[in-house]
């Protein structure tokens, strides 16, 4: 059952506790927002634009990011990152009658039919989109690995990679269910590009980008959502919980128009249990930082002090310095460990590709051997017009004095099974035209 239905709206507001870091990955820049959520208000603690991150050394902009988090008092937080729309395929899946605990397995069963990447490995995640429905985001695993490794090199701790529709859907529901009558909200992803998000009773979520005038994009969205044509669209930031903003350097920077998606992502990361957003980041890359991780260290320190009887001599200043050294060592070693793990995964993928290429080279020899055996089986005056060979089947189209006799030859061969004479028709006085199909034996 979706959380916005399971938890009453009034109770949801009392449960709003958390802080989050949202990162919107753009084509050139990173938009970063730190938000703190409390029952009484939502406050934006800081905003940052990291220019040209793709061309700069990761350590350089990573230091800029770390300094920003420190200034916002959020160094202990892991980030929720918003993948670029062009890198993610989003599908809405209806699963009526499927319990919430079974949704993941039900989506996994039909995952191959939801993307065009064939045998290529993918990363995916989902989040609820109403009763018995889900939004599924799918991206190439290589793409997700690339961003994850870039963040690891920069020392950016990330716990979630999500997509636009999931982040907005989750953030809007931080206060409870959205507008029952439906709405359309507009933003600007880039010059000339309009970001559109909407919901309606007939369609749970609509999210798209259009390179056209905002009025035309709004009209298309209203039509897709089956809303009244004259409905006035909102701004994306107006659909989100209203925050308390720090003053900007200029009046143009006081609003959220430039940071709306990063702000929504930060909200999704601040209260993931109240507003779940799809997580496409593979588990081995997810980093969760919390002050609770230092509880064992503190417990050992207290125990040691009790045994030695010198705990009273330790000052609070010494304890703070000790914890600061522990945090510094963890932060210094964590990127190295992530890079080593990434190298190991790359080596394993390279071995898998080598084995696949070896199998692929053997396929040509198998096909030629099969064709040679077919030539020996189909003796004159029988002949073939076309021979279709796939990895697991063969299809023959030709003429023979007796098609049934030829079919029996194929059916008795060690190369084929389940042979089938699909059709025959007279071909003059010389014989019959035939179509025969058969399944190839494994390895033949």
Note the pLDDT of residue 287. 80
DSSP annotation of 159 reads: E
Note the pLDDT of residue 305. 74
Tens of each residue's pLDDT in the chain, 444 residues:
444 445 666 666 777 888 999 999 998 999 999 999 998 889 999 999 999 998 999 999 999 999 999 999 999 999 999 999 999 999 999 988 888 888 899 999 999 999 999 999 999 999 988 788 899 999 999 999 999 999 999 999 999 999 999 999 999 888 655 566 889 999 887 778 899 999 998 888 999 999 899 999 999 999 999 999 888 999 999 889 889 888 765 544 557 778 899 999 999 999 888 778 899 999 999 886 545 444 455 566 677 777 777 677 777 888 888 888 888 888 888 888 888 888 888 888 888 888 888 777 777 787 887 888 888 888 888 878 888 888 888 888 888 888 787 778 877 787 888 888 888 888 776 688 888 888 888 766
Residues 6+ apart with CB under 8 A from 88: 137, 138, 139, 163, 280
- Nearest CA to 159 among 69, 33, 270? 270
- Nearest CA to 173 among 26, 37, 23? 37
Query: Which residue in the block uniquely carries the two structure tokens 């005038």?
Result: 213
The answer to whether the pTM exceeds 0.75 is: no
Note the pLDDT of residue 444. 60
Structure tokens at 107: 């989506």
Q: How many Cα atoms are found within 13 Å in the side-chain-facing hemisphere of 284?
A: 14
Question: What is the secondary structure of 129-155 as a DSSP string?
Answer: -STTEEEEEEEEHHHHHHHHHHHHHHT
Taking the C-alpha atoms of residue 50 and residue 52, their distance in angstroms, rounded to an integer, is 7
Note the pLDDT of residue 7. 61
Which residue(s) pair with 405 in the sheet?
none
Helix spans in 309-425 (H): 316-377, 403-411
CATH match for 3-175+241-289 among 3.90.1150.10, 3.10.400.10, 3.30.420.380, 3.40.50.300: 3.30.420.380
Yes or no: say if 10 and 29 are a contact pair by the CB < 8 Å rule.
no
Helix spans in 204-315 (H): 214-225, 236-239, 260-270, 295-308
Reported as a single tens digit per residue, the pLDDT across 61-99 is: 999 999 999 999 999 999 999 999 999 999 999 988 888
Note the pLDDT of residue 406. 79
Q: What is the dihedral of CA 40, 46, 50, 51, to 10 degrees?
A: 100
Note the pLDDT of residue 253. 57
The two most distant CA atoms of the chain are separated, in Å, by 112
Yes or no: say if 183 and 199 are a contact pair by the CB < 8 Å rule.
yes
The residue count of the chain comes to 444
- Domain boundaries, given as residue ranges, for the chain: 3-175+241-289, 291-363, 378-440
DSSP annotation of 428 reads: T
């Amino acid at each position: 059952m979706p959380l916005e239905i399971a938890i009453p709206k009034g109770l949801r507001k009392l449960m709003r506790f958390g802080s989050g870091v949202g990162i919107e990955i753009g084509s050139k820049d990173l938009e970063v927002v730190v938000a703190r959520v409390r029952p009484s208000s939502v406050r934006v603690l800081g905003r940052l634009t990291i220019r040209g991150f793709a061309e700069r050394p990761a350590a350089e902009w990573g230091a800029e990011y770390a300094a920003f988090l420190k200034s916002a008092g959020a160094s202990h937080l892991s980030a929720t990152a918003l993948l670029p729309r062009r890198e993610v395929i989003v599908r809405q899946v209806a699963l009526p009658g499927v319990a919430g605990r079974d949704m993941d397995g039900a989506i996994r069963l039909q995952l191959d039919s939801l993307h065009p990447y064939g045998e290529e490995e993918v990363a995916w995640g989902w989040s609820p989109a109403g009763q018995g429905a889900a939004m599924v985001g799918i991206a190439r695993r290589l793409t997700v690995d690339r961003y994850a490794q870039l963040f690891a090199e920069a020392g950016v701790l990330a716990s979630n990679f999500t997509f636009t529709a999931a982040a907005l859907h989750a953030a809007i529901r931080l206060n409870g269910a959205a507008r029952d009558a439906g709405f359309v909200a507009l933003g600007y992803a880039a010059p000339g590009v309009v970001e559109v998000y909407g919901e309606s009773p007939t369609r749970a979520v609509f999210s798209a980008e259009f390179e056209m005038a905002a009025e035309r994009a709004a009209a298309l969205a209203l039509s897709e959502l089956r809303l009244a044509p004259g409905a006035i669209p909102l701004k994306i930031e107006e659909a989100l919980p209203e925050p308390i903003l720090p003053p900007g350097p200029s009046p143009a920077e006081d609003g959220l128009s430039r940071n709306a998606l990063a702000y929504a992502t930060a909200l999704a990361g601040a209260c993931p249990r109240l507003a779940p957003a799809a997580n496409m980041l593979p588990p081995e890359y997810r980093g969760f930082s919390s002050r609770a991780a230092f509880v064992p260290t503190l417990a050992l320190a207290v125990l040691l002090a009790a045994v030695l009887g010198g705990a009273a001599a330790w000052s609070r200043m010494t304890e703070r310095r000790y914890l600061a050294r522990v945090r510094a060592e963890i932060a210094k070693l964590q990127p190295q460990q992530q890079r080593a793990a990434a190298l190991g995964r790359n080596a394993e993928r390279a071995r898998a590709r080598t084995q696949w290429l070896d199998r692929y080279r053997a396929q040509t020899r198998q096909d030629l051997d099969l064709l040679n055996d077919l030539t020996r089986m189909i003796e004159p005056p029988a002949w073939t017009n076309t021979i279709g060979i796939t990895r697991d089947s063969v299809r023959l189209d030709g003429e023979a004095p007796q098609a049934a006799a030829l079919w029996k030859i194929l059916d008795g061969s060690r190369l084929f099974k389940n042979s089938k004479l699909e059709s025959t028709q007279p071909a003059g006085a010389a014989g019959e035209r035939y179509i025969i199909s058969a399944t190839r034996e494994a390895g033949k």
